[in-house]
Structure 1
């Protein structure tokens, strides 16, 4: 059956420079009667970019089972890159690719009975073994790319995303569960979301088919969303940054383009100051480390000199006849032992450094300190 209505609809509120986009239905697909692609990102992004020219706040209300990954990814990026204030809503169910589009908002709202479902991408694989392996490798990369939306929203790692959300299961979350995990900023009271009763029992493919066959009532008149501007001067921190009151109308306070530029400049100046401070901190830490390294080198050199002197004294003491020097003897210990040995040697001249002291042919005490067997005395024997 040919598609008669788009999967999205735009309602403008030009007086308040706001607009609402309703994404109700499957994302991407094929019209099997005409074999043309439908619900494409190209049409959505063109309409969205046009809408940005006239709206400062864009509300995006979603009730979708998801659909084509590449179409949804382009829609997510178009919304995420917008410099306008984006508020997304889970009007019933945001599953699969629709769940990730929901995460593109600056603020995310949901009804108390909304459902959120996150899972890995899925596809059909065809070809020989090598071709299928390449397709599986591509599927892993697709999952990693999709997971960045969850990383950004929850402030968690890719490993945490893979473990908790892209774990090859359909992960369903009630609004209370999703809120506690950090997916939602606000829960809408009273109203009820539009959810098929058997939605959680359907496989993703059947879910998309069911939504494609459903007719949703998408408003074609002015959105009921009202301006929620705050009272003048209700943001003292912003007033302090600006140095002047916020711009205001009879409906409340807001930030005009000039004030936005002033805030951006303030943030840029603060960022530069922080960068300069961090650079100075890094330089100080580097200088301190260099000084520590220099001192350590001096200590190591002094220690080496001390060890060399200790080794030299130990060698001298051993040569002088000092015996049984303990391994951890200090220089003072060795010096004391050496002094004692020298005193002994001084009392017995030649006893330890000559060979003639015990020669029976010599008179007692005569030339005891000379070794006549030494080669230097060979000419006078």
Structure 2
């Protein structure tokens, strides 16, 4: 129950921070931004994704992800939509792909992560009510969900299921280097680590237990730079005896 309460808190804490879902067409290529939680009420849904992809008319596009996760079933529905898309989809993880967002990321044919980004896997959560038989059935359902998610991870990485299960049990956070070494992604983008840090730190991740320190520490803001032209004018005024 504690985990489900935390998941609900994650959704509540982040629903007003979302940058939403945005499809853009440009000469340089088609881009779809998923900078949001994944949720049928407060975030991006599979229907939203389908409508956004219609913008590209079946042409190839890049999907850029920065998401703390959300609803597991909505994430799997989005993955299905992506896999059924006729064009090629390349996924770029700009800051964070956690929980259900990793399921979405695996809907693309190829994946790249920014050097400062993170990729997190864990077991599914839910809230159960009823007698012991009801709760056991819910546990069985969670096990089936975890098996399906684990099968996706195993197919993407080529790792043994025992290793996948351990990662999910431990709530494992992969840096871009670790994600590539273990087969979750194919490439690392090193062009703008500062922007990746800004993206990944945009979310409240208190629902998770093993969040890396890099995601909980806010960067120290740079001190304001002096307006040199204004200072020069001020000094000129002082020399002239003007106050």
| TM-score for both structures, normalised by structure 1 | 0.46
Q: Deviations over 1:174-218 (max 9, x none)?
A: 111111111221111221202218967x2239x9xxxxxxxxxxx
Structure 2 partner of 1:203? 207
Cα distance, 1:20 vs. partner?
Answer: 0.6
Contact 1:27 1:72 in 2 (8 A): yes
Pair 119,60 (structure 1): closer, same or farther in 2 beyond 3 Å: same
- Aligned: 1:53 with 2:53: no
User: Where does residue 175 of structure 1 map in the other structure?
Assistant: 176
3-state SS of paired residue (2:188): strand
Distance in 1 (alpha carbons) for counterparts of 2:21 and 2:96: 15
Could you tell me how far apart the structure 2 residues matched to 1:196 and 1:6 are?
14
Query: What is the aligned partner in structure 1 of residue 80 from structure 2?
Result: 77
Match of 1:34 in 2: none
Task: From the superposition, tell whether residues 29 and 78 of structure 1 become closer, same or farther in structure 2 (CA, over 3 Å).
Answer: closer
Whether the aligned pair in 1 keeps the contact of 2:22 and 2:52 (CA below 8 Å) is no
Counterpart-to-counterpart distance in 2, 1:175 and 1:86: 19
When normalised by structure 2's length, the TM-score is 0.71
Distance between the aligned counterparts of 1:110 and 1:12, measured in 2?
22
Structure 1 partner of 2:150: 147
Structure 1 residue 83: deviation in Å? Answer: 3.0
Uncovered stretches (5+) of structure 1, i.e. residues with no partner: 32-37, 208-381
Q: Report if the CA contact (8 A) 1:24-1:63 is conserved.
A: yes
Q: CA–CA distance in 1 between the matches of 2:16 and 2:41?
A: 10
Alignment counterpart, residue 25 of structure 1, candidates 16, 28, 36: 36
Q: Residue in 2 aligned with 1:132?
A: 135
CA separation of 1:198/1:22 partners in 2, compared to 1, >3 Å: closer, same or farther?
Answer: closer
The answer (yes or no) to whether the contact 1:22–1:61 under 8 Å persists in 2 is yes
Give the match for residue 220 of structure 2: none
Structure 1 counterpart of 2:192? 191
Indicate if the aligned counterparts of 1:29 and 1:67 stay in contact, CA closer than 8 A.
no
Distance 1:4 1:139, change over 3 A: closer
CA distance in structure 2 between the aligned counterparts of 1:87 and 1:143, rounded to whole angstroms: 25
For the pair shown, the structure with the greater C-alpha radius of gyration is 1
Q: CA offset at residue 66 of structure 1?
A: 0.3
CA contact (8 A) 1:59 1:88 kept: yes
Residue 107 (structure 1) shift? 1.5
Match of 2:46 in 1: 41
Matched, 1:7 2:10: no
CA deviations 1:237-286 (Å, max 9, x no partner) are xxxxxxxxxxxxxxxxxxxxxxxxxxxxxxxxxxxxxxxxxxxxxxxxxx
2:136 counterpart of 1:116: no
Does structure 1 retain, via aligned residues, the 8 Å contact 2:46–2:81? no
- Structure 1 residue 5: Cα displacement: 7.3
Question: 1:1-381, aligned counterparts within 5 Å?
Answer: 7-13=20-26, 15=27, 18-31=29-42, 38-48=43-53, 50-53=54-57, 55=59, 57-163=60-166, 165-167=167-169, 169-192=170-193, 193=196, 194-196=199-201, 202-204=206-208
Instruction: Please give the alpha-carbon distance, in whole angstroms, between the structure 2 residues aligned to 1:129 and 1:4.
Output: 38
Q: Would you tell me which structure has more strand in proportion to its own residues?
A: 2
Aligned residues: 193
Instruction: List alignment gaps of at least 5 residues for structure 2.
Output: 1-11, 212-243
CA deviations on 1:107-163 (whole Å, 9 max, x unpaired) are 211111111111011111111111011111011001111122212211234344223
Distance (whole Å) between structure 2 residues aligned to residue 186 and residue 196 of structure 1: 22
**Structure 2 counterpart SS, 1:183:** coil
1:45 shift after superposition: 1.7
Contact 1:24/1:62, CA 8 A, preserved across alignment: yes
